[in-house]
Chains A and B, each alone.
Chain A
């Protein structure tokens, strides 16, 4: 099955910009979606498709993609953005395109 690789941790100063990346072969065929998870809580969808935000997600969250890499950018990070972030996409390997895979996760610390 495919793998999606993320940096384990990144830090950002309050109000600055941080980019989180997700690498994997499946991203050449499928869009990534991005999830924010705070301690003890269920994940929340923040970005999906080309660069779509669900209702209620601040516009400081944006997504992009190039080749085998997808990125989530937080422009003007706030204290409440401190969380774990996971990417996800369909799995392009094998004969079962219906399978999904999550990235390894990135812990974002807001300083």
Chain B
């Protein structure tokens, strides 16, 4: 079945790094744009980053630009998020999600993972 499974979350000290992974199955991963979306405890959804189907374009929210890097390995059907210089305000559940066409005006996040928790604390 169509599935996204995140991993790599945990507790990390401020200023340190963490890499999240998202394993895709049940659909043609290499044909989809992929996103990271996060949700701080008790707060709303915040879009974090997108990478196009072939990795040719990447865009970031201002809050993570210069600290986070999104990447993908289409041979492994896996999406990544490298998070550096972590701050307390990065504490959140991180979801990966797919979208059929990031270049389209009607693009949407059609498949979501279950999320992985990242806690930044000393």
Contacts and interface: CB of A to CB of B under 8 A. Distances in A.
A42 B95 contact: yes
Contacts of A29: 105
A49 B59 contact: no
Contacts, number: 70
Interface string A18-54: 0000000000011101010100001111001110101
- What is the interface of chain B mostly: helix, strand, loop, or mixed? loop
A54 B47 contact: no
Nearest to B62: A1
Interface in B7-39: 35, 37
Contacts of B62: 1
Interface string A95-107: 0101111111100
Contact of B106 (A42, A49, A96, A103): A49
Interface residues of B, number: 24
Give the size range of A's interface with the partner. Answer: 20 to 34
Nearest 6 Cβ contacts at the A-B interface: A48-B108, A49-B106, A33-B108, A98-B59, A105-B44, A100-B47
B47 A98 contact: no
B81 to A, nearest CB: 15
A71 interface: no
Interface of B: 35, 37, 44-47, 50, 57, 59-62, 95, 102, 105-110, 112-115
Interface of A: 1, 29-31, 33, 35, 37, 42-45, 48-50, 52, 54, 84, 86, 88, 90, 96, 98-105
A102 B102 contact: no
7 contacts: A30-B106, A37-B45, A42-B113, A43-B95, A52-B106, A99-B47, A102-B47
